[in-house]
Chains A and B, each alone.
Chain A
């Protein structure tokens, strides 16, 4: 038997959460250091696992399967394909960065940091579990359970409106989850009527579900995912949650946790219900395009920096969903890569805005201005992260955005054109933010702005390095992702559009 990588990656942070919570009172700093240590260990493990995955080359690896509730066909079934492993790697790498950024956030709200750190580790464990789950009920349980730590992270440590934001977050996501649960059960019934009742993803994918049933089950799953990843018009919880959560927590929420929604779309909804996915794709493409433009326009109109970034995320989630439902190689691979890249760029934006808020005590754009003079490195970091988010070629999100647009355009011309308008709006919301906060003559409010400190530079540096590396050398990751999306696309069976003019013989080396 091979090493149980995925169980290990789930257990280590979960155990870390328990240990952190058990650290006695008065030793808060020790608890924080312990949590960070565990997160770093997990990060190293995910990187090793990812490298092992890439080296091995098999499309699905690290498969584990133990019966859990045998009579119901529930399994502790885990496995990694190209899609899962890249998101697990993202989660593993981002968590210690976010924890470092959170270092003083709990104290700033006059709260005990110990539960804060323990909850983040618990969340990490659940996220990795959800990305690795190959049993639909296991996925569902984790999908729902991760609401609990996030609910407390927002509700206990957030800003003045935290309770409202936390309850809104919970209600929206719970509603989606419950409808999904109905669909999960419906799926089980389908399996039971066709032979053996099971929740194993592989068995369920093999089912032959009648089209009309597929429609309802697909909609049940998609409803939950469209809330989580927020797609217009189910998005309104995210700006509130992101604005009230601490900046690093907001980073974790929209940078990593919301990816479970788009992950669910591509890894569950598409292979489970291919016929329904084909039928509903045009409608979802419409919603995705609306999300892209709507999110971007609202981002332009925001006065609160955290809400602004939340709306840019809505716009970018629109692009990810668009790519998934283009139902071709470029769209699907681009969307999956975008999940990783959006994670990096959004986390960078949120934590840097967190640095600004620590200095000025306000999250409103109007309270800043001229900060580039006293704090050039801070300004440069914000600009860099912003340029990544707006899809500047050479930085990671560009390749994914371009692939999504190409994939969409090759199937839906008008949607492709409209989505491309988003690149103009993206330039506006990022550069306006930068201009209003960082440029102009020095102002009293920002006069004493200290530049980035050592800890802060340590947080920004790996994000910058990753954004550059994946911008110029996306191939290794994209190869893994490409392998991962192929089986999904084979299920959906639409095929890539052929070029209109085949390349002349012998001209392409």
Chain B
């Protein structure tokens, strides 16, 4: 049955494996329920129980993918309706899944990389007494993230959107006995709510404009909507995306989010959840198609964040925060590409996938280092680890080469595509992306050198050792993906651009110069960044305490004053407003209603003086009331 068109293809229903697509979400949901509500005795089998669900979902996703390959490219979007959520007036919402080229790519990433990170966590969290709860939250996250990418209605997408936000909140604050973790968790949730404000209004605007929030209703009708509404919806969706994906100006929570256990940083705050904003923009292609100013805003936000994150990444001595800056920056690249429209959508998703591989690799590698170094995160306390942690070193190096874009590693293909597309469409964005690539070369080389090279600056009680194989096997797999993932995605079976074309459309803008020349320019810029880092951090011993640094360094260390701005513009005035309102409410509003506040007090104290019991005072007030009643009746009856 044909249900309509999304993008350039028809959406149909199908039986077979597709009718079981809901299992993707239900497996991790059951896992989460069992682990969170089940007996503490399950703790003994936490590893198997925790990993079972995402692995099962991965099998389902792979089966769906294979089934999809067997269909014609235009027949690959499958609608899987599940149940009606509600119908009020003419507005109906159904819970259903849209399994298409875009959502299956995400599903494979979420369940694939997600499973690896679950397995890794068996080792990483082995000594945590709340590990059962940890795996419960991780399973909950996987379920919510899959709902987010598979939903076929913006309102249901929003349920998943908030679900991942909840999981993120719970996991950032997993060690909630630390004040810093609890504060970071709350901050992440509240900043995301600012984004959700935009997201809610976008969804509400869709109801006003289209009378529906179903993809199948919104996308075909979008072309008929006024440009003003499309721009408004596009900008509101962008606000939502900025919150979830830590894009400027809602970026401030991501660096603090590193308070969470490192596998969480890898899965949620690097590989999957934070890319949801990119998904949202790409999925909403039909809206952005008619809203050029909104697209421009996406490009601007992406470019700014790509540079901002990179600059912040340069100054952090905390390995996780350096990587978090890098995540911001890389998602900025994806946003930038997504803002280019059909010319960039496929590249945004391409980079999103390769980033999922190599950033997960880098974070898990950092976790492995921390695991061997008594949870030390200060890179000034590392150094020379390549000899004692061979596997971590080699696999981390694969992630490193991938992120800075050295051929043939994955990032080379995906990042080059974005920079080329950016130059072809907008010189300023292209230049920003190119400079960002150079800075990436710099800060990642810095991380690499400070951690694995140079002399050993370890704390006296540090005895670094390689991690157990339950942690290193996922590292090897991710290193492999960081090596071949880019080329494979780009070339195997027509490649990702062709695969996504029915969803995202395609548009090719010619570059002014030959592609090989562009590639050489990008490589040269990256190598300059690497060389500068080598000059500063590779050739001389590193002080254990951070030097004062230039004003730029100081600004970057303080996250380019993002928190300071929030504090000055929102927090302090907000606290002042709240305090004064509390003061006014306690005195003023009360008084304005019944004469004055003291009148109430006096009246009640007079009542108290009269009363010898409550019955008496009640009777008195009833008497007074009855008098008023009589007067009222007389008044009304008089004429």
Indicate the member of A155, A164, A298, A500 with the most B CB atoms within 10 Å: A500
Decide: A164 near B601, CB < 8 A? Known: A474-B85, A503-B212: yes
Whether B193 contacts A427 by the Cβ 8 Å rule is yes
B211 at the interface (CB under 8 A from A): yes
Which residues on B sit within 8 Å (CB–CB) of A177?
Answer: 625
Contacts of B583-617 to chain A: CB distance below 8 A: 585, 589-590, 592-594, 600-601, 603-604, 607-608, 614, 617
A287 at the interface (CB under 8 A from B): no
Whether B201 contacts A420 by the Cβ 8 Å rule is yes
Decide: A406 near B204, CB < 8 A? Known: A156-B614, A328-B89, A440-B182: yes
Which residues on B sit within 8 Å (CB–CB) of A410?
Answer: 204, 207-208
Whether B159 contacts A394 by the Cβ 8 Å rule is yes
Chain B residue, CB-CB nearest to A509? B3
Chain B residue, CB-CB nearest to A500? B209
In the assembled complex, the Cα of A209 lies from the Cα of B381 at a distance in Å of 82
Q: How distant is A128 from chain B, measured CB to nearest CB, in Å?
A: 23
The interface-forming segment of B299-307, B431-439, B626-634 is: B626-634
Which residues on A sit within 8 Å (CB–CB) of B210?
Answer: 499-501, 503
Decide: A508 near B217, CB < 8 A? Known: A152-B614, A372-B176, A431-B186: yes
Whether B581 contacts A297 by the Cβ 8 Å rule is yes
A302 at the interface (CB under 8 A from B): yes
Q: How distant is B596 from chain A, measured CB to nearest CB, in Å?
A: 12
In the assembled complex, the Cα of A172 lies from the Cα of B621 at a distance in Å of 12
A57 at the interface (CB under 8 A from B): no
B561 at the interface (CB under 8 A from A): no
Q: How distant is A380 from chain B, measured CB to nearest CB, in Å?
A: 8
In the assembled complex, the Cα of A434 lies from the Cα of B329 at a distance in Å of 32
Which residues on B sit within 8 Å (CB–CB) of A233?
Answer: 589, 592-593
Which residues on B sit within 8 Å (CB–CB) of A504?
Answer: 220-221, 224
In the assembled complex, the Cα of A170 lies from the Cα of B405 at a distance in Å of 73
B578 at the interface (CB under 8 A from A): yes
A439 at the interface (CB under 8 A from B): yes
Q: How distant is B277 from chain A, measured CB to nearest CB, in Å?
A: 17
In the assembled complex, the Cα of A478 lies from the Cα of B88 at a distance in Å of 8
A424 at the interface (CB under 8 A from B): yes
Whether A330 contacts B91 by the Cβ 8 Å rule is yes
B579 at the interface (CB under 8 A from A): yes
A186 at the interface (CB under 8 A from B): yes
Whether A431 contacts B88 by the Cβ 8 Å rule is no
Whether A167 contacts B201 by the Cβ 8 Å rule is no
Whether A334 contacts B182 by the Cβ 8 Å rule is no
B200 at the interface (CB under 8 A from A): yes
Decide: A507 near B186, CB < 8 A? Known: A163-B604, A427-B193, A439-B173: no
Chain B residue, CB-CB nearest to A478? B86
Which residues on B sit within 8 Å (CB–CB) of A421?
Answer: 197
B56 at the interface (CB under 8 A from A): no
Whether A424 contacts B197 by the Cβ 8 Å rule is yes
Whether B4 contacts A298 by the Cβ 8 Å rule is no
Give the 4 A-B CB pairs with smallest separation, nearest first.
A499-B211, A329-B89, A439-B182, A507-B4
A-binding residues in B (CB < 8 A): 3-5, 79, 81, 83-91, 155, 158-159, 161-163, 166, 169, 173, 176-179, 181-183, 186, 189-190, 193-194, 196-197, 200-201, 203-205, 207-212, 214, 216-217, 220-221, 224-226, 229, 574, 577-579, 581-582, 585, 589-590, 592-594, 600-601, 603-604, 607-608, 614, 617-618, 621, 625, 628-629, 632-633, 635-637
A-B contact pairs, 11 of them (CB 8 A): A178-B632, A181-B632, A406-B208, A416-B201, A420-B197, A438-B176, A442-B177, A500-B226, A501-B209, A507-B4, A507-B221
